[in-house]
Structure 1
Amino acid sequence: MLRSRRRTNIALYVVALLTACTTALVGVVVVRAVQEEPAPALAVEAGGLTAASAAERREFSEVVAAATEVATAFVNIRYDDVDASIERVRALATGEFAEQYDSGTDELLELLGGARAVMTGEVVWAGVVTAAQDSATVIVATTGTVANDQTDQAPVARTFRLQIQLSLVEGAWKASDLQFVEGLA
């Protein structure tokens, strides 16, 4: 009886060892396959998430890059180089946003020069809300500083959340609307 139990234990041990080795081997094969074939990018459609085509991924990338460029130009403005700062934003604007920006330029010049204001910033994240062939909406978060006479020229932290409406104009994405968004963390 003892001998029979010992054989059974050895057999179970061998089966457990073979199962463990097989599991490890399958795990290695699966991990290598996943590493060689990345997961598909996802696009949001009315019915839910779907795999995005290469063209859709390229379009999303272009939209995010354009919104990032607009936001970066918008949050980097200097009183001592105000014309270049304004022109960077103006070059990326179209439609109603371009008109609104142009109509506020005189007030902006006065405000920046009078306070000797310097605002710097960078985009920390951006996400596409909607995208179509010729329009897109992107939420952008920025972080940076502002220094002016009120702060005794000491940089003070500033963060902004912007909703940027983009329009495709002659092959280039331009801002057709820009809104400050409150309540996003």
Structure 2
Amino acid sequence: MAKLNWHEDFILHLASVIRPKTYVELGLYRCELFNKMAEFSNQLVGVDINAEAGKYMLNTPKARFFHGTTQDFAENLEANPLKIDMLFIDADHSKEAVLQDFRNFFPYVVPHGLILFHDSHPKDNRMVHPSLCGTAYQAIEELSKERELFEMVTLPISPGVTICRKRKKQLSWHER
């Protein structure tokens, strides 16, 4: 049986291989994953509606805390665009919020950049509670029907991680 926060080790390993220049995390809680990502990224932005989350953030020039909703941060990006290499969506776990976060931030993700979704494979109906996985998995079901601009795979281990790669062509060097 996998530990509940196995996704952190998985995402850290992925980052150690990919080395994203810019990492953005939507929903920080206590910055456990976010702070560890500093080793693998040049620039990190953490977004949380709770001001307390920023107090846990590693004090480094590479990291920036945005206090507000993910929608507020998306509006901020319109004026100050960012090229995101790796995006972790783990704020509001409702289907609607996950879809909105995906659609708001997708344009800022670089070609062949990764979007990671948390809470995408709850093990049972109890895990669908809003304070746990919520209905995030339903957003993955809906997005999986779209295939032209990205591809997705969900790791079927509760609470679940879905990996999305933004792409038009299979090989990154074919897309230049």
Q: Which structure: greater strand fraction? A: 1
Normalising by structure 1, report the TM-score: 0.21
Q: Which structure: greater helix fraction? A: 1
Normalising by structure 2, report the TM-score: 0.21
